[in-house]
């Protein structure tokens, strides 16, 4: 395939318009290595048209709840041959599937526990899924440990 011709290249404004992504976001994507551009003699960015497919994949992945760090890590597994192919998407989506399944499971637990949550009106500290008397769940790690699936069983009572 050789070098792209001028008609194969998009300005940052054209890329923003075609992709629906702000130019500031495109610059950020470029700064963290998600997309690349060439430069004209006047130092203006030019993107190959295949960047549209890459940006579409980024937007889909973000829609799935993936962060840019996760997307960037996945992109490091892609060949440097341009836009991600259908085979690339199949491979990437299979990498993300276990994480997405875990997120879905945590959201289902959260949804199911909302009706018994003190913040939602149960007013029962004895059975609240969020309650963490004396911060005894801190031994289990950071975050809302009970909502993440940890059990209060076997956790030593605090002071």
Minimum mean pLDDT range among 35-39, 53-57, 94-98, 131-135: 131-135
Q: 3-class DSSP state for residue 15?
A: helix
Of residues 62, 10, 55, the one with CA closest to residue 29: 55
Q: Which two tokens stand for residue 106?
A: 């945590």
**pTM for this model (two decimals):** 0.63
What's the mean pLDDT in 133-149?
67
Q: Into which CATH architecture does domain 6-96 fall?
A: Orthogonal Bundle (1.10)
Q: How confident is the model at residue 65 (pLDDT cuts 50, 70, 90)?
A: confident
Are 117 and 129 contacting, i.e. CB atoms less than 8 angstroms apart?
A: yes
- Structure tokens belonging to residue 98: 């276990």
Q: Where are the domains of the chain?
A: 6-96
Higher-pLDDT residue of 51 and 138 is: 51
pLDDT for 137 beyond 80:
no
Mean pLDDT over residues 120-131, rounded?
54
Residue 55 has a pLDDT of: 94
SS3 9: strand
For residue 46, give the 3-state DSSP assignment: strand
The Cα–Cα gap between 9 and 52 comes to 11
Q: Express each pLDDT in 78-89 by its tens digit.
A: 776 567 788 888
């Amino acid at each position: 395939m050789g070098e792209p011709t001028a008609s194969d290249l998009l300005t940052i404004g054209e890329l923003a318009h075609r992709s629906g992504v702000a130019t500031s976001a495109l610059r950020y994507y470029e700064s963290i290595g998600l997309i690349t551009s060439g430069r004209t003699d006047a130092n203006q960015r030019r993107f190959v048209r295949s960047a549209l497919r890459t940006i579409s994949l980024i937007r889909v992945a973000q829609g799935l709840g993936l962060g840019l760090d996760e997307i960037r890590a996945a992109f490091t597994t892609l060949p440097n041959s341009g836009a991600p192919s259908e085979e690339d998407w199949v491979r990437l989506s299979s990498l993300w599937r276990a994480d997405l399944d875990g997120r879905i499971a945590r959201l289902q637990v959260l949804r199911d526990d909302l009706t018994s949550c003190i913040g939602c009106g149960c007013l029962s500290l004895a059975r609240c899924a969020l309650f963490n008397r004396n911060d005894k769940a801190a031994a289990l790690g950071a975050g809302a440990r009970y909502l993440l699936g940890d059990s209060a069983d076997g956790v030593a009572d605090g002071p």
